Structure 1
Amino acid sequence: MIKALIVGVSEYTLGAGCKNLPLYLNDIQAMKKALISGLAVKESNVLVLGENKVVNIDDFISTFNGVINSVDTSDTFIFYFSGHGAELNSENYLVLSNKPVSTNEVISLIDRLPCKNKIVIIDACHSGNKNVTLESPLNLQATADQFVGHGCAIFASCAIDETSGFNYSRNMSRYTCILYDALTNPYLIRNGKKSLEEIKQYVDRLADISNKSIMNKQHNAFRSSIVGTISFEVEEYKPYTTQKIYKETERYIIYSVKPVHANVKRISLEVILRFPFSKEDISDIAEEIKKDALSYEVYDNKISEERWKGKPNNIIFTYYGYSETDMINHTYAFRSTWVDSQQDKDHWYRLSDKSSVINDVWIEEYSNYSFMRKFISDNTADDVELTEATRNCMYEMILSAEKFLGYYREYINRTITEDTFTNSIKPLLTKIRELFLEQSDFSIPSKDLHKWSEGYSSLAATIDEFVVIYDPSSKRDSKNRKQLMDIAIKRYNDCLERVKELDIEFANRFDD
């Protein structure tokens, strides 16, 4: 559940030098609307302070304490402030109607809340204080679901030496306008969710565009201790379900059927053979399978289904092994390909010393099948040992990735130069690559642990992309590196969400 405190200060009693800000009343109204319509926050969970234009220190403290005391461990807490900001000795202050309060103190209180994640948004002059420190929620003894998506993030409207301006055409603060557009943009929704990272990227793009057309530029900042990102469920989502096909006969079992449609309708089957077979036998089995498989309707999504439904499959790829373990490890004894008369058979039926075309079916025998099967059997890890080794290695890798992203955010925030950033991450690049190689050398997971281990392997490869992008020997320029990092960060967050789900499945299976 999301709970929010929105604070807007429009009138001041501090005397000369602190002008009233009548437009800030529009800010808090817009932010309330953005949270309700854009993030599906219940109106009853949004508390607004400042609708009477005045926010005194006593009212702020009592309201703030009341809200944070109502926050539960499973909640997301959002704090938004719009008003004057002040800078003294490189420290930022939020200026209330009768007294300033230290931004660091407010953020520190919020950061220590027991809720799983916190978001602080400050639209005020001098708000981007690089000296803010946030506690990392990464616990190397915990499971991924206990730290992925947990932590604190801070959005600031400008650098500590800059002032925040207004969008007079919309009668709001410029940064709040940008936030409103980002939060309410329906095109950021994926699978019924909006991610904090994508909202942040949208804000950055709009801010860059705005800065190109104005004199008083303000460079927004983003800092975070959140491992991965926060995914807000904003609308009901029913994922597309691919049809499952499983069939048993006296000679074989159709273990899986997957769509691989492209410019023609194609499917891929995995088949467990009950007895030893020759190439000629496989040709006969492939022909038997084809009779039903021509009409198999399996799709990844609705668009593909609408395009191909009712049409026969043009190409059928089939992979054959002798056990479920073969299917899981993709260790096959044979593979076959059948294509219809509309396809280029010279292309699909290329011959070698290991392949043949028998009864219009291309068949290849894997000569290393027995060796690979024995190798996997001899090198399958103990579940407990592999689980412990994976967690120890991967959590260190995640910790290094988060430190890397911390430096990267400061580089993007313009508080450090590119040279400072690249020098700071050198030991992290070395550490990440060492851990990646360590992970890639783990023993083969058992059948029960295969999917879980595969999820962490994908995460390891994604984190290693940071190393590839910022490899000192590469010829990429700064712009290209940033573009690649946007893609890599998205993949990183997706992989973290995946391992979180796998950890939950793993724990439930263990409990059962």
Structure 2
Amino acid sequence: MSNLNALVVGVSNYYIPDVVDLPFCMNDVTLMEEALIKGLKVQKQNITTCGKYGDAKTEDFKRALSKVTTIDKNDTLIFYFSGHGATIDGQHYLVFSDGIISTQEIIEHFKEIQAKSKVILLDCCFSGNFSIDETSSFNIEKTVEEFQGEGYAVLSSSNSDQVSYGHPEKPVSVFTSFLCDAFQDKHIVKQGKVSLYDIQRLVSLYLEVWNKRNPDKMQHPVFKANMGGTIFFDVKEYQPYYSTNIYAEYDNYIIYKVEPVHTGLAKRYSFKVILKEPLSLEEIGKISLKIKDQAKNIEVYNNEIAEKRWINKLPNIIWVYFGRDEIDIIKNNYICHTTWVDEKQDKKWWYKVNGKETFILNGVHYNIHPYYEQLRSLNIENTVSKEHLVFKSKDILSRMITLAEKVIKIYNDYKNGEITEEELFEEMDAYIPELDK
């Protein structure tokens, strides 16, 4: 089982000539601790703090750093820094109470820590002045779950030329205030998880609004990652909704499955049926009418909202799709389908006919699928062994994910202001032949 660990550093007191104190940074530490605990559900004992009372010397930081370097290889590590940042001879440094440490060296150190996922959050001036390695490549021998979140990401409060500010209405930093709000935002929680991707997007949105309101104190965050996909943080207990499976076998047909396709205005079902023997259209129509009557007692939904909306109510629309075997169902290839609607629906719309593929026979509306036989032959001819399919799927998946990581990096470079829109399109052009394969 993986754990979430954090190293939180704030530097308020400085003993370096001409370096002013930053009283709000110790408040940043307290706010960040609370946000990590309440928002990302980090256990308090898994948070190592440096500078809670103002002082954070280089040796204090190194000792704190040594505590978190021994975490498990499946864990996630978050490093947060609030304090002065400085650029000297083109290199960025984090400024501690009594000295400086190269930001790039810290990033390189965190990169080598065995934790699966590392996140570096920098709230200091000129903090966008850093670099990362090239993007991750997906190893075909790994699962997507193993690849997901593996690596490191850096989110800075400003670009390489900008100052980072304290909040004018709160005793904390602007960036930290927005970051902590994002950690605790319930609207970006999906299925009990919140992603690093959504967190950084929300922080960027907050700062975009801030910049419009404060043009003299603009901060453009920089996000760079050498990571498979993103990190998902478990923040809320999630109970998945399990849809009912319907399977019923009769003398000459099988109801293979029933798909709920409800909308806010209509209760709708799509039945997928396998014919066990060749049947005429009249016989298919009789099956369709029988299924329509059976549907009155069926309750199948995709989620709780739909269930609460439609439970114990009669269906408004029913489609029945007929295939010859499981291959047809899997490939979504059918001989025909029938449509039934109740009196509340516009029957002129639903029962349109052209006399060829669509028509009404014995009160049943049919839609014949004219390319069924050709598609069936194609599906059968191109059916391969499970082993071959797995191998080819892994190969395609590997190339797709690796390419996606490269494209995402280019887009992030554009968002970070490191390349122009013209350069974005030029770099994307190089990948178009690969995308077209």
Task: Return the TM-score normalized by structure 1.
Answer: 0.81
Q: Distance in 1 between the 2:164 and 2:385 partners? A: 58
Q: Distance in 2 between the 1:223 and 1:65 partners? A: 25
Q: CA RMSD in A?
A: 1.7
Q: Is the 8 A contact 2:211 2:218 kept in 1?
A: yes
Question: Counterpart in 1 of 2:279?
Answer: 277
Q: Is the 8 A contact 1:295 1:311 kept in 2?
A: no
Question: Counterpart in 2 of 1:74?
Answer: 74
Q: Distance in 2 between the 1:345 and 1:122 partners? A: 62
SS of 1:104's partner is: helix
Q: Is the 8 A contact 1:137 1:150 kept in 2?
A: no
Q: 1:7 to 1:130 in 2, by over 3 A?
A: closer
SS of 2:164's partner is: coil
Question: Counterpart in 2 of 1:348?
Answer: 350
Deviation string 1:292-336 (CA, Å, 9 cap, x unpaired) is 112321122222222222111111100111211211111212211
Question: Counterpart in 1 of 2:328?
Answer: 326
Match runs of 1:470-489 below 5 Å: none
Q: Is the 8 A contact 1:86 1:92 kept in 2?
A: yes
Is 1:87 aligned to residue 90 of structure 2? no
Q: Distance in 1 between the 2:132 and 2:371 partners? A: 58
Q: Which has the higher contact order (CA 8 A, sep 6+)?
A: 2
4+ aligned runs moved over 4 Å, structure 1: none
Deviation string 1:404-457 (CA, Å, 9 cap, x unpaired) is 2112111111122222222222202232223xxxxxxxxxxxxxxxxxxxxxxx
Match runs of 1:458-473 below 5 Å: none
Q: Is the 8 A contact 2:137 2:402 kept in 1?
A: no
Question: Counterpart in 2 of 1:505?
Answer: none
Q: 1:340 to 1:355 in 2, by over 3 A?
A: same
Q: Distance in 1 between the 2:219 and 2:356 partners? A: 67
Question: Counterpart of 1:192 in structure 2: which amino acid?
Answer: G
Q: Distance in 2 between the 1:22 and 1:159 partners? A: 23
Q: Distance in 1 between the 2:190 and 2:39 partners? A: 13
Is 1:133 aligned to residue 136 of structure 2? no
Question: Counterpart in 2 of 1:232?
Answer: 233
Question: Counterpart in 1 of 2:375?
Answer: 372
Q: 1:322 to 1:78 in 2, by over 3 A?
A: same
Q: Is the 8 A contact 1:197 1:229 kept in 2?
A: yes
SS of 2:297's partner is: coil
Task: Return the TM-score normalized by structure 2.
Answer: 0.94
Deviation string 1:112-132 (CA, Å, 9 cap, x unpaired) is 222221100010111101434
SS of 2:334's partner is: coil
Question: Counterpart in 2 of 1:405?
Answer: 408
Question: Counterpart of 2:117 in structure 1: which amino acid?
Answer: N
Deviation string 1:177-214 (CA, Å, 9 cap, x unpaired) is 11111111111111111111111111011101111222
Question: Counterpart in 1 of 2:398?
Answer: 395
Q: Distance in 1 between the 2:288 and 2:41 partners? A: 52
Q: 1:132 to 1:322 in 2, by over 3 A?
A: closer
Q: Is the 8 A contact 1:25 1:51 kept in 2?
A: yes
Question: Counterpart in 2 of 1:243?
Answer: 244
Question: Counterpart in 2 of 1:381?
Answer: 384
Match runs of 1:28-107 below 5 Å: 28-69=29-70, 71-107=71-107
Question: Counterpart of 2:38 in structure 1: which amino acid?
Answer: S
Task: Name structure 2 gaps, 5 residues minimum.
Answer: none
Q: Distance in 1 between the 2:106 and 2:194 partners? A: 26
Match runs of 1:15-34 below 5 Å: 15=17, 17-34=18-35
Question: Counterpart of 1:280 in structure 2: which amino acid?
Answer: E
- Deviation at residue 367 of structure 1 after TM alignment: 4.5
SS of 1:167's partner is: coil
SS of 1:404's partner is: helix
- Larger helix proportion, structure 1 or 2? 1
Question: Counterpart of 1:112 in structure 2: which amino acid?
Answer: E
Question: Counterpart in 2 of 1:464?
Answer: none
| Equivalences, count | 432
Q: Is the 8 A contact 2:136 2:226 kept in 1?
A: yes
Q: Is the 8 A contact 2:328 2:376 kept in 1?
A: yes
Q: Distance in 2 between the 1:216 and 1:235 partners? A: 36
Q: 1:292 to 1:181 in 2, by over 3 A?
A: same
Q: Distance in 2 between the 1:229 and 1:118 partners? A: 11
Return 230-239 or 417-426, whichever deviates more: 417-426
Return 117-126 or 339-348, whichever deviates more: 339-348
- Deviation at residue 77 of structure 1 after TM alignment: 0.5
Question: Counterpart in 2 of 1:317?
Answer: 319
- Deviation at residue 135 of structure 1 after TM alignment: 6.4
- Deviation at residue 61 of structure 1 after TM alignment: 1.1
- Deviation at residue 23 of structure 1 after TM alignment: 1.0
Deviation string 1:162-185 (CA, Å, 9 cap, x unpaired) is 211100311001111111111111
Return 218-227 or 357-366, whichever deviates more: 357-366
SS of 2:61's partner is: helix
Question: Counterpart of 1:369 in structure 2: which amino acid?
Answer: Y
Q: Is the 8 A contact 1:247 1:254 kept in 2?
A: yes
Equivalent residue for 1:359, pick from 358, 362, 375: 362
Return 26-35 or 145-154, whichever deviates more: 145-154
- Deviation at residue 85 of structure 1 after TM alignment: 0.7
